[in-house]
Amino acid sequence: MKKFLKNDAVQSLIASLLCILMGLLIGYIVLLFINSAGAGNAILDVLKNFMKTSNPERRVRLLGATLVRTAPLLMCGLSVLFAYKVGLFNIGTAGQYVAGVCASLYAALAWGWGWLPCMLFAIVSGAVLGAIVGFLKAYRNVNEVISGIMLNWIALYTSNMILTLQKQEASHYTLKLKENAPQAILPSLGLDKLFNYDKVSIAIPLAILLAVAVYIVLNRTKFGYELRATGNNKNAAKYAGMAEKRNIILTLIISGGLAGIGGAMLYLTDIEQWSVTATSVPGMGFNGIAATFLGGLNPIGTIFSSFFIQHITDGGPNVDTNLYCAQISDLITAIIIYLCGFVLFLKTAMNRAIDRSAERKAQKEKALAAEKGGEK
Amino acid sequence: MEAPYAIEMLHITKRFPGIIANDDITLQLKKGEIHALLGENGAGKSTLMSVLFGLYQAEEGVIKKDGKEVQIRNPNDANDLGIGMVHQHFKLVECFSVLDNIILGIEPTKNGFLQKKEAREKVMALSEKYGLAVNPDALIEDITVGMQQRTEILKMLYRDNEILIFDEPTAVLTPQEIEELMQIMRNLAAEGKSILFISHKLAEIMAVADRCSVLRKGKYIGTVETKNTTMEQLSAMMVGRNVNFHVEKKPQHLGEVILDVDNISVASKVHKKDAVKNVSFKVRAGEIVCIAGIDGNGQTELVYGLSGLEPLKSGHITLKGQDITNASIRKRSTSGMSHIPEDRHKHGLVLDYPLEYNLILQRYFEPEFTDKAGFLKRGPIRSYADRLIEQYDVRSGQGAVTPARSMSGGNQQKAIIAREIDKDPDLLIAVQPTRGLDVGAIEYIHKQLVAQRDAGKAVLLVSLELDEVMDVPDRILVMYEGEIVGELDPKTTTQEELGLYMAGAKRNEVKA
């Protein structure tokens, strides 16, 4: 049993579940304070998301909608994770994601590119942004969090400026792909029929494949060996002659590329259009941080945690707005996501508790043995 | 009647998961005595002191002060009881003056303003009374290690501590400074202070202590009066057997010059001065050259410069006739340089990697371990690791997959040595390779170094341990304040002469 509990994967899973539970509990308490009558139902509504409707066809369709948004979230999660394994906190994921959105939409609408080149262009854009952070970190030792945050804003307003050239006349949204650039819409491979929803595309299986690829690169290749060594012990990596600067830059390029493709995965489905008057960086990149930690810093775990986070995000609007103000759904999901960041903390606490109980047991055994010895 | 003991630790037991660090240990410190606590690294001295300081709570046993039982839950409790400690690594603020460091934490104030005048008077009075010469206005970074230590002692006295603990206080001192410290300790004891002196240096214990308690592998071995004992007896108590420190070496076969260091300088990270100043020397195949010196005289930076961890300010390094002055760390490694680093946790190992990954840390990129597509070859890595584990007797819980973090210090060091020697280097740089290890592991490592020499390799050993410096190498180079101040032959020199060079009191011209 103890050995089972000592297993890293098991610990991550338990810690993640505990975090979710704590988040739900605190969310519930907040709801109780606002209006005690509907609190229980409200939490259940958030958790149910697509399960709330009894119509099976609608259920599948809503599940599909959640999956469409899970794919980009997973990419942002992988982006954060990849950098984190090398000891870098890439908060610039949010901006790299925006760069991906901008590149893919502009290439589709202005130049009439197909979906694949659009997607590749999105990767390159995110990667370029990541490379800037990487160069600054490697050669000028600029903190990646600071340069990342500042680049987020630069990316946001640059994208707004560029995409204004492709916006609908009557609104502040970009043109719809369906009418203006159907060649750029991601192919669905029949998944749209399965979910009865035309926005479900190859982005979803592709995202999962990329998660597996990230896992393989990190754990099975020479490159991953170097990266994780650098993340675990920078000095030892240097001592072993690993090219530290090159690895930092490459890592942030890959991390940026992952975020960039995430932007393309959402906007090339035409599920939504970019608002060129946006004044805040989309939450997708930041939620990626929560997804990574909730997923136990494991690419495969991040697949499930991304789905969960998107699941409750989509479940949020189910909350009865007659009882609660409209913002409450965002607040509850935000609380749960926030608590998701506590996974590492809980893991440490758990390990300590296990060690302590082992110590106590050993002591008791010794005392027992001593007693027995005394009887003889 | 007054209790005879200032502090008593009775039947202390402290366990950590997997080991018993202190097993039923009793230590009784008389008032006004100098009591030595002797034991090898890992014998449980530090744990016992941490219990006394409230950093750890013992599972069993009691602590008594003046015959009354006391609870020490944290260092503040210890301080309230008048217990003070000079740590092996000083806890001083480098850019503060001596006086500021002494009053730090208990600064006398009036309406929120510092009142340094009375503090200064008290410090000067203490300094005079105990013969602790310091300049109260000098900055810590500008004064000698000896004066820094006196500052630490004044810190304890300023707080009116009655029980003074010295943790390996002589490790950083020159022989002359050690003599001064001994006199200070005698003065303190004569004034009624009780002193606990932690050390593994027998000569010093015999010279200054009244009584000596010995620990071995977490167990209490006994307490003896130093005037009724001998060094041999203490040594046997400490290690549990008679140790032969002498290293067997075959006759020397000197070969070509492998490492040629020409006039190199390396900048210091902490001071404006260069840490290594115009150093030149050669190491030939088939010899062990030892860089001796007191800690912090530029040895670390010299090795950083040689291995490429820090850039040179000037000078040239040639390895086997090839100029490697500006070569990358990887290039130096593949050109035949192996490096057993000073700090195995900082540089030597990725602690969260399994043992097998640590064993390939210098070779993972070779075709033997990585295929053309960049994937690690897991089978060959495992069998290579298994071979090294077998051949070098690296012991661990789960073999090749054991996380390096969970291995003992000795076995971690063995793993590094296996990795570096198995690379079949022409030059092996070993920096304090036996630090913190038990006698068995030390013997093993010395044998490995000598085996490299006998196999016709060049070995550069950097050591702080006098025994190691005298026994292992063929030549000794002494470093003092970043310069090589003397070359000595271990067969003809004495520890006293070595000490004079290490203290900078003597120097000779080094023939390159």
Q: Is B216 found in the same domain as B350?
A: no
Where does a domain end: B239, B265, B291?
B239
Q: Does the pLDDT of residue B79 top 70, yes or no?
A: yes
Please, which pLDDT band fits residue A124 given cuts at 50, 70 and 90? very high
Q: What is the pLDDT of residues A251-287, one digit of tens each?
A: 999 999 999 999 999 999 999 999 999 999 998 999 9
CA angle in degrees (0–180, nearest 5) for B502-B86-B465: 30
Co-location of B377 and B402 in the same domain: yes
Mean per-residue pLDDT, A343-353: 79
User: pLDDT value at position A376?
Assistant: 43
Asked if B328 and B307 count as a contact pair (C-beta separation under 8 A), the reply is no
CB-CB under 8 Å, A236 with B348: yes
Higher-scoring residue by pLDDT: A70, A369 = A70
Q: Which of residues 410-439 of B touch A (CB under 8 A)?
A: none
- Any domain includes A153: yes
The DSSP element (H or E) to which B291 belongs, if any, is strand B288-292
Nearest residue of A to residue B352, measured between CA atoms: A232
Select the more confidently predicted residue: B464 or B224.
Answer: B224
- Note the pLDDT of residue A28: 87
Residue A238 and residue B341: Cβ atoms within 8 Å? no
Backbone phi, then psi, for B489, in 5-degree steps? -100, 120
Give the pLDDT score at B324: 95
Helix (H) or strand (E) holding B429: strand B427-431
* Ramachandran category for residue B154: left, alpha or beta (phi over 0 → left; psi -120 to 50 → alpha): alpha
B286's tokens: 């088939």
End of a domain among B239, B262, B279? B239
Provide residues of A within 8 Å CB-CB of chain B: 220-223, 225-226, 228-229, 232-233, 235-243, 355, 358-359, 362-363
Of residues B308, B320, B327, the one with CA closest to residue B258: B320
Number of C-beta neighbours around residue B111 at 10 A: 5
**Same domain, residue pair B104 and B201:** yes
* CATH number of the domain to which A190 belongs: 1.10.3470
Across B350-364, average pLDDT: 95
Query: Which residues of chain B lie closer than 8 angstroms to A237, CB-CB?
Result: 350
| Top-confidence range, A51-65, A131-145, B124-138 | A131-145
Q: What is the Cα–Cα distance from A266 to A201, expressed in whole angstroms?
A: 10
Cβ pair A267, A203 in contact under 8 A? no
| pLDDT band per the 50, 70, 90 thresholds, residue B244 | low
Same-domain pairing of B406 and B446: no
Distance CA A304, CA A289 (A): 14
Cα A117 from Cα B38, distance rounded (Å): 73
pLDDT band with cut points at 50, 70 and 90 for residue A84: very high
Cβ separation B347–A359 shorter than 8 A: no
Question: Residue B32, class by beta-carbon neighbours within 10 Å (0-12 exposed, 13-18 middle, 19+ buried)?
Answer: middle
Domain that holds residue A86: 70-315
Asked if residue B69 and residue B99 are part of one domain, the reply reads yes
Please report which confidence band the pLDDT of residue B243 belongs to, taking 50, 70 and 90 as the band edges: low
**Taking 80 as the threshold, does the pLDDT of residue A7 lie above it?**
no
Residues B385 and B356: beta-carbon distance below 8 Å: yes
Quick count: other Cβ atoms within 10 Å of Cβ B3?
A: 13
CA-to-CA distance for A257 and A96, rounded, in angstroms?
8
Domain-terminating residue out of B213, B239, B265: B239
Lowest mean pLDDT among A184-198, B41-55, B373-387: B41-55
B510 touches chain A (CB under 8 A): no
| CATH number of the domain bearing residue B329 | 3.40.50.300
Q: d(Cα B304, Cα B171) in Å, to the nearest integer?
A: 22
What's the order of all strands across the beta sheet hosting B257-267? B274-284, B257-267, B314-319, B322-323
| Alpha carbon distance A285, A95 (integer Å) | 8
State the pLDDT confidence band at B465, using cuts at 50, 70 and 90. confident
Nearest to A240 among B331, B362, B375 (CB): B362
- How far apart are the C-alpha atoms of A354 and B86, rounded to whole Å? 35
* B376 in A contact zone (CB under 8 Å): yes
Sequence-ordered list of residues with C-beta below 8 angstroms from that of A154, at least 6 positions apart, any chain: A95
Q: Is the pLDDT of residue B475 over 70?
A: yes
Helix and strand totals (H; E) in chain B: 16, 22
User: From the CA of B311, how many Å to the nearest CA of chain A?
Assistant: 13
CB A76 within 8 A of CB A288: yes
Q: How far apart are CA B125 and CA B352, in angstroms?
A: 52
In chain B the first and final C-alpha atoms are separated, in Å, by: 69
CB-CB contact of A196 with A183 (8 Å): no
Q: List Cα–Cα distances, B333 to A145, B195, B377, in angstroms.
A: 34, 48, 22
DSSP class of B193: -
What pairing do the DSSP bridges indicate for beta strands B322-323 and B314-319?
antiparallel
Under 8 Å between Cβ of B314 and B267: no
Q: What is the pLDDT of residue B245?
A: 57
What pLDDT is attached to residue A256? 97
B-chain residues near A242 (CB < 8 A): 330
How large is the average pLDDT for residues A107-130? 96
**Average pLDDT of every residue of chain B:** 88
Q: CB of B220 within 8 A of CB of B211?
A: no
Question: By percentage, how much of chain B surpasses pLDDT 90?
Answer: 50
Enumerate the residues of chain B whose CB falls inside 8 A of the CB of residue A239. 307, 309, 329, 339, 341, 347-348
Range of the domain at B476: 244-336+426-512
Confidence of residue A371 (pLDDT cuts 50, 70, 90): low
Same domain, B310 and B412: no
Q: What is the total count of domains within chain B?
A: 3
Edge-to-edge order in the sheet of strand B483-488 = B337-340, B427-431, B458-462, B288-292, B475-480, B483-488
Judge whether residue A146 has pLDDT over 80.
yes
Q: Is the pLDDT of residue A93 over 80?
A: yes
Mark whether B257 and B406 lie in a shared domain. Answer: no
Is the residue at A52 inside a domain?
A: no
* CA-based nearest residue to A340, from A316, A314, A307, A305: A305
Statement: residue B18 has pLDDT above 70: no
Q: Which of residues 25-84 of B touch A (CB under 8 A)?
A: 59
Tell whether A349 is covered by a domain.
no
Per-residue CA distances from A305 to A265, A319, B176 (Å): 18, 22, 65
Shortest distance between the Cα of A15 and any Cα of chain B, in A, equals 20
Answer yes or no: is pLDDT of A328 > 80: no
B391 and B414 in a single domain? The answer is yes
Query: B407 vs A64, which has greater pLDDT?
Result: A64
Q: B491: how many CB neighbours lie within 10 A of its CB?
A: 7
Instruction: Tell me the three state secondary structure of residue B124.
Output: helix
* Residues B169-207: tens digit of each pLDDT: 887 777 778 888 899 999 999 989 999 998 877 788 889
CA separation (Å) from B46 to A206, B37, B79, B165? 56, 10, 18, 11
Q: What is the pLDDT of residue B480?
A: 87
Which of A43-52, A331-340, B34-43, B418-427 is the least confident region?
A331-340
Of B144 and A151, which is predicted with more confidence? Answer: A151
How confident is residue B242, by pLDDT bands cut at 50, 70 and 90?
low
**For residue A375, what pLDDT is reported?**
46
Q: Which pLDDT band holds residue B87 (cuts at 50, 70, 90)?
A: confident
| Range in A197-206, A355-364, B480-489 with the lowest mean pLDDT | A355-364
B271: which 2 tokens? 């001071």
Q: How many domains does chain A have?
A: 1
pLDDT score of A37: 81
| pLDDT on residue B2 | 58
Least confident of A25-39, A324-338, B183-197, B323-337: A324-338
Is A358 close to B352, i.e. CB distance below 8 A? no
Taking CB atoms and an 8 Å limit, are A232 and B352 in contact across chains?
yes
Residue A366 has pLDDT above 80, yes or no: no
pLDDT tens profile A191-250:
888 888 889 999 999 999 999 999 999 999 999 999 999 989 999 999 999 998 999 999
Shared domain for B16 and B151, answered yes or no, is yes
Predicted pLDDT of residue A33? 87
Same domain? B255 vs B229: no
* Residues A75 and A258 sit within 8 Å (Cβ to Cβ): yes
Q: Examine the domain organization and report whether B215 and B313 are in the same domain.
A: no
- Residue of A216, A225, A235 best to disrupt the B interface, most CBs of B under 10 A: A225
pLDDT score at B4: 82
Residue type (1 letter), B25 = I
On whether residue A320 sits in a domain, the answer given is no
Chain A residue with minimal CA distance to B350? A233
Do B307 and A239 lie within an 8 Å CB cutoff? yes
d(CA A102, CA A260): 9
Same domain, B108 and B223: yes
Average pLDDT over residues A347-375: 71
**How distant is the Cα of B104 from the closest Cα of chain A, in angstroms?**
33
3-state secondary structure chain A: CHHHHHCHHHHHHHHHHHHHHHHHHHHHHHHHHHCHHHHHHHHHHHHHHHHHCCCHHHHHHHHHHHHHHHHHHHHHHHHHHHHHHCCCCCCCHHHHHHHHHHHHHHHHHHHCCCHHHHHHHHHHHHHHHHHHHHHHHHHHCCCHHHHHHHHHHHHHHHHHHHHHHHECCCCCEECCHHHHCHHHCCCCCCHHHHHCCCCCCCHHHHHHHHHHHHHHHHHHEHHHHHHHHHHHCHHHHHHCCCCHHHHHHHHHHHHHHHHHHHHHHHHCCCCCCCECCCCCCCCHHHHHHHHHHHCCCCHHHHHHHHHHHHHHHHHHHHCCCCCCCCCHHHHHHHHHHHHHCCHHHHHHHHHHHHHHHHHHHHHHHHHHHHHHHHHC
Contacts of B375 in chain A (CB under 8 A): 220-222
Predicted-complex ipTM score: 0.82
Does residue A72 have a pLDDT over 70? yes
Cα-flanking dihedrals φ and ψ of residue B325, to 5°?
A: -50, -45
Q: What is the pLDDT of residue B512?
A: 45
Cα gap B429→B304, rounded to integer Å: 11
Are B375 and A235 a contacting pair at CB < 8 A? no
Inter-chain residue contact A232 with B375, CB threshold 8 Å: no
Task: Name the CA radius of gyration of chain B, rounded.
Answer: 25
Residue-wise pLDDT tens digits, A158-187: 999 999 999 999 899 999 999 999 999 999
